[in-house]
Structure 1
């Protein structure tokens, strides 16, 4: 087991955008995969926890408009 400098992995780091949505996907040599999305929206997302994971679900559906319904952004 070893950890290498970032150059070993061939990735890049860009810090141009200070806000918004970020996504990271990682796939290991054995095929295991992890995906992470961080989205700026309302505090504590939808305020709903996954019953088995305790992961807070996001509320990005709030960004879509439903006819005759006001969302958090008006």
Structure 2
């Protein structure tokens, strides 16, 4: 009448461990990718604003230079 005790299946524990390990690796990769993307975007935004500011200064100085007549030229 008594049932014999169930034997534990060791492969189930190993399967759970492998699944958890794979999920942990995927989560780490996603976290690093998002962090790197944010760092890249912040550095790239600063570079873009600096280069656009330099382009504006260059365009302004070019317009100022074009407005002045060259010395010695006929007017």
Larger Rg: 1 or 2? 2
Q: Which structure's residues are more often helix, by fraction? A: 2
Pick the TM interval, shorter chain: under 0.3
Report 1 or 2 for greater relative contact order, CA contacts < 8 Å, sequence distance ≥ 6. 1
